[in-house]
Amino acid sequence: MSLPHDTADPMTLLRDPSILIVGAGPVGLCAGIALLKDGHRVAIVDSGAHGAGWASGGMLAPLYEMAADPTCPDPYLEFALKSAELWHVLARTCAVDLQSPSLFLARTQEEVAALLSLQRRANRLGLDLTSVCVPAGLTAQAAFQAPTERSLAPRAALKSLMNQFQSLGGELLVGQAYAIGPHRLGLLDGRTLEAETIVLAHGFSATSFGQSIPALRALSPVKGQMARVAHPELASPIVRAGRIYMLSRGGGLVIGATSDPLAAPVLSVDVDPVLALLAEAKALLPSLATAPTVEAWAGVRPDTPDHLPLVGASGVDGIYLATGTYRNGWLLAPAIGAYLSELISGKTLDQALMNLFAPERFSS
């Protein structure tokens, strides 16, 4: 819903703070932290609903998610690798625990060939991907260890990032974004907020503003589901094979993740996809046959037709986008935050990245 620029509202906040971010997920929080460090006044408005960042596995995996795809543009891969490095500093600052290394398993000869190809690309990038023995208890033809592929616990990390954001002077406003216009954001409770700059970083929910911001119509939902099982932790904290990952976390295993672009974008758990996920995981780790499932949940990833994010000016005065991160919201969050802060501050940015991320590529 659009918000007329001349809307009168006695509850309007007049350009203080200077930047208003919608969404307290990983991208919104990292953007807020970066902008605060660059001297801006920042507030985040968030509805409190669990988003894709909360529901995800917290994977920081540029090799497995991007380098393994030969169509991934080099500037995008370099951006992802830079973001992975930024996590080292951010994790220390915010007391976020990063798990590593990752173990990549190949279950078929086709997957062996794919991992050997990935190993060659990793070596060209100066990254370590080493062939190792398949650990006891796992069923696979080959295994490779990647010390630079990491993960984090999303629910704890969101709290840590919020603590850092507020300790730097950021303000959290609880409310649901409902209407938007140049420099203005309307909330469902009737409040209207004003700021010099508004950043929409609330994932697929940003599509509610598609009527006002055409680029947001390019977003599509990809539902993902995960489960937690009571099982002894594995020797490697991260095990990946095909779409499956198993994370040793909280004294058990987190297993993810389904990916269904045809499912309705709702957070209810669908039994059949979760059962199929667990059956695939059990084939990889047979001891899961007797492991009880203790939790299952769902999230909705924001995807775009080219699987590249929407980061930049929206085409509406004073409004920027930071969404469309698909499977890599946690990985990309620090680099997107730094990129947005430089963009909003008027600094010169890499033109290749600007072209890749520009929301205007979908504005028509």
The reply to whether omega before 292 is within 30° of 0 (cis) is no
Report whether pLDDT(249) > 60: yes
SS percent in the chain: helix, strand, coil, step 5: 35, 25, 40
CB 275 within 8 A of CB 322: no
Angle CA 229–234–238, to nearest 5: 90
Instruction: Please choose, from the candidates 35, 22, 54, the residue with its C-alpha nearest in 3D space to the C-alpha of residue 297.
Output: 54
Angle between helices 329-344 and 26-37 (to 10 degrees): 30
Instruction: Please choose, from the candidates 14, 245, 30, 39, the residue with its C-alpha nearest in 3D space to the C-alpha of residue 138.
Output: 245
Residues 6+ apart with CB under 8 A from 315: 213, 214, 215, 359, 360, 363
Rounded to whole angstroms, the Cα distance separating 323 from 199 reads 10
* Digit-coded pLDDT (tens) for 192-239: 999 999 999 999 999 999 999 999 999 999 999 999 999 999 999 999
* Digit-coded pLDDT (tens) for 141-152: 999 999 999 999
* Digit-coded pLDDT (tens) for 271-301: 999 999 999 999 999 999 999 999 999 999 9
Q: Which two three-digit tokens encode residue 307?
A: 């699987």
- CA-based torsion, 90, 91, 96, 98: positive or negative: positive
What b/e readout covers 234-263, taking b as 16+ CB neighbours within 10 angstroms?
bebbbbbbeebbbbbbeebbbbbbbbeeeb
CB 304 within 8 A of CB 310: yes
Position 15 scores a pLDDT of: 47
Report whether pLDDT(3) > 70: no
- State the chain's mean pLDDT as an integer: 94
CB-based burial of residue 60 (10 Å sphere; 0-12 exposed, 13-18 middle, 19+ buried)?
buried
HSE on the CB side for 65, CA within 13 Å?
A: 29
Report whether pLDDT(6) > 50: no
DSSP, collapsed to helix, strand or coil, labels residue 201 as coil
Report whether pLDDT(72) > 60: yes
**Which domains can be identified in the chain, with CATH numbers?**
1-97+149-219+304-364 (3.50.50.60), 98-147+220-303 (3.30.9.10)
Q: What distance, in Å, lies between the first and last C-alpha atoms of the chain?
A: 19
Residues 6+ apart with CB under 8 A from 149: 60, 61, 62, 63, 64, 100, 101, 102, 238
* Digit-coded pLDDT (tens) for 17-40: 699 999 999 999 999 999 999 999
